[in-house]
Amino acid sequence: MAETVLELAKLISDSAETINKACTENGTSVPSLDAPFDPRTEAFRGHADVSIAVNTAISAAYQLIATLRPAPASIFQLATSFLHSSALRVAFEANVSRIIKEAGGKGLHIKDIAAKADLDPKKLVRILRFLATHHFFGEVEPDVFANNRLSSLLDIGKPLSEIQSNPITKYEGTSGLQAVLSLMLDDSHKASAYAWETLHDSKTAFSEEPAESAFSTYIGNGKTYWAWLEEPGNAKKEAAMSVGMGTGQTASADAINQGFDFKSLNENDHVVDIGGGIGNTALSIARGNSSVRITVQDRAAVIKDGIEKWKQSFPEALSSGRVTFQEGDFFAPQSIKDASVFILRHILHDWSDKYCLQILSHLRAAATPSTKLLVMDSIMHYVCADTANVSGGMKNDAPAPLLPNWGAAGAQLYIADLAMLMVHNAQERTLPDLRELLKRAGWKIVRVYPDEGGLGSHGTLGPQVEAVPI
């Protein structure tokens, strides 16, 4: 085991050397943890070999901690990890990051922070000290806290007075990251506490119904997340979801064109984006191909917002009729019968196999012999070595003695999978899972375009799976 410790330490050291060399050669640097987040400081990640080095260092560091820390302590840390979410939510909802930023200077005393947040300083200081111990915020002097690279991301970028006076609209015009955080730290967090009760109850243990998830157990009224979101009193959460779904994507605008060759399509081709929201994906395709026809299908309210967005972003595509929006329900028969490409981006992971089969079967019934189906969801990787190379979407296994799936460096995939389970009774899927699901609906996978981010991390579109009718 001592040899493993040395191997892990060497991987960290070698990775640091690779990162340092790339930064020196390109005039960049690794951003300081003590400085507020600035997207421009992330440029170092784009250098050759740096992405692999970063993932290697992260994976090795976590494995080294798991190896060296006493096992009872590790179990206790995992068992109490709910406290991290609880503490983070207090700081987030209290707008602590914004309060500190508006004060200026190098930090703010807990009494001043608590006064602005209308909280007890004797309680809030314990929350912030816990977070600072885990590198969220910094305690720069006794009872004086400052923002750092992580805590600064809690700030939505609006004045405190505006945030407090307009809670429903506070996320409008933001990146969407904080809107997603608000949802994860609130009801998704609370719902996860009911996982065992839901999985163990004979009424829900083997259910594929979205209204029988851990979330549904938590709210106690037998409704799906989507139905609950539309209930009176949930306007703030519905608004946050709208912003998070509409603008919370951090993938580059051209990421969609780095897999399937949309530029090879012509004016005779028709791309149909199923559940395409306000048309973010379609916008990138339309800008990359000036002739292909595109239809975006979604709910009526979403379509209305999408049309308004396109009137600002790409009005000529709308006025020419090359791009159209259409109200649609993917659980109903598909009305378009001449599709060259059907796109399902981040759709199937919201549903159990039972409902995915309905979606896929309707598309198969409407497909021509030459229609292609493009599924864009994260693909789950096995933790063990994948000798048959069937995981998909990952370029290489991690070097030994790291976990082949890159361990903690790829944890975002597994977080997303459990989030889908808790909230929607749904799932992310392995490639064999997806292959079998598509086969049952009459589709055959012919190609997988790998995720350029390598690990399906937030900020990438994930792999693209191309299928054709059987």
Average pLDDT for 4-27: 96
pLDDT tens-place string over residues 156-191: 999 999 999 999 999 988 988 999 999 999 999 999
User: CATH for 81-163?
Assistant: 1.10.10.10
pLDDT at residue 142 above 50? yes
- pLDDT category of residue 248 using cuts at 50, 70 and 90: very low
Q: What is the pLDDT of residue 458?
A: 42
Cα gap 417→420, rounded to integer Å: 5
Across 206-210, 304-308, 336-340, 347-351, least confident range = 304-308
Average pLDDT for 261-266: 95
Q: DSSP letters along 145-162, please?
A: EE--TTGGGG--SS-HHH
CA separation, residue 427 to residues 201, 233, 350, 416, 433 (Å): 19, 28, 7, 8, 10
- Segment holding 430, helix H or strand E: strand 429-430
pLDDT tens-place string over residues 89-111: 999 999 999 999 999 989 999 99
Cα gap 151→206, rounded to integer Å: 40
% of residues, the chain, pLDDT over 90: 83
pLDDT tens-place string over residues 364-393: 999 999 999 999 999 999 999 876 555 444
Average pLDDT for 146-151: 98
- pLDDT category of residue 334 using cuts at 50, 70 and 90: very high
Calculate ∠ Cα 224-227-229, nearest 5°.
Answer: 105
- pLDDT category of residue 462 using cuts at 50, 70 and 90: confident
Average pLDDT for 71-94: 97
pLDDT at residue 2 above 90? no
Greater pLDDT, 161 or 245: 161
- Give the start-to-end residue ranges of the domains of the chain: 2-77, 81-163, 168-247, 255-469
Q: What is the pLDDT of residue 250?
A: 47
**Among candidate residues 296, 290, 300, 341, the one with its CA nearest the CA of residue 320:** 290
Q: What is the pLDDT of residue 241?
A: 87
pLDDT at residue 244 above 90? no
Amino acid identity for residue 322 in this structure: R
Residues 6 or more apart whose CB falls under 8 angstroms from that of 140 comprise: 106, 107, 146
Name the token pair of 97: 């990051």
By annotation, the residues acting in catalysis are 349
Max Cα distance, the chain (Å): 70
Average pLDDT for 289-311: 93
| Superfamily, domain 255-469 | Vaccinia Virus protein VP39 (3.40.50.150)
